[in-house]
Chains A and B, each alone.
Chain A
Amino acid sequence: MTTMTEAKTIQVYRVYIRATPDAIWTAITDPDWTDRYGYGGRAHYELRPGGSFRLLASEGMRAQGVPEVAVDGEVIEADAPRKLVQTWRLAMEASLAAEGFTRLTYEIEPLEGGVTKLTITHDLTDTPVHAGLVAGEMEDTGAGGGWAWVLSGLKTVLETGASLGR
């Protein structure tokens, strides 16, 4: 994929996972879980309004030049296991850090039959490099497939216990 016609300012991603809302909440907020899918790294949340969020690079990532704090932000709303609103910024590289914070919302809704709907709404207003990255536009450079890839991995790890792409 090459560059898009314009940066997508609001992006919405949805996945249906055969798991409980609690299991999904844990997979998003527990560092032992966040290291098992997507970009990996250990998420550290203070789950209250104004609390800090940091995604710490794993040893393997650090060995390849990623700084300790790969992503940072602040919790705006934490309503376990239904809704998490936070700011979110890739702090690991100067041009991304300079774009400033985006706003990320996770919504978790149980359906019938043991299936749970997870929706991510990412407000990327005025952060075009972030927008391209989370849309997966830089995947051909090895930079991961953005939210679609992350959510695919999250579903796989919760439903099968197996990690994708590692």
Chain B
Amino acid sequence: MDDDDLVFKALASPVRRFLLDLLFARDGRALVELESELEMTRIGVMKHLRVLEDAGLIVTRRSGREKLHFLNPVPIRLIYDRWIDKYRERQVSALADLKSELETKG
């Protein structure tokens, strides 16, 4: 399977999409916390997290005794840029647009 196959396979499960939603709402969570949001065994949740990690959609980091899970949006971005975003031109204007946006808000 290539990288995109792994991403689409990982996203094909509602449970795994729910896990990503949880991390999107609050990133850097431990297994015990994610597990408490699902009616599923710990082993089951770990399996789903493993599929997400293999697809690159989750990156784990050790913090003391805990393993924290972070949402990694880059694989989805790669798919997006491949088919959707290719023809947009904006690089030079990105920082200028940001500056004016913040100044308008400010």
Contacts and interface: CB of A to CB of B under 8 A. Distances in A.
B74 A165 contact: no
B94 A144 contact: yes
Interface of B: 3, 24-28, 56, 59, 61, 70, 72-74, 76-78, 81, 85-86, 88-103, 106
12 contacts: A14-B74, A38-B91, A39-B94, A121-B61, A129-B102, A141-B98, A142-B94, A143-B97, A143-B98, A149-B77, A156-B81, A164-B86
Contacts of B86: 164-165
B96 A64 contact: yes
A5 interface: yes
B93 to A, nearest CB: 6
Contacts of A28: none
Contacts, number: 125
Interface residues of A, number: 52
A144 B72 contact: no
Interface in A83-138: 92-96, 119, 121, 129, 133, 136, 138
A136 B74 CA distance: 11
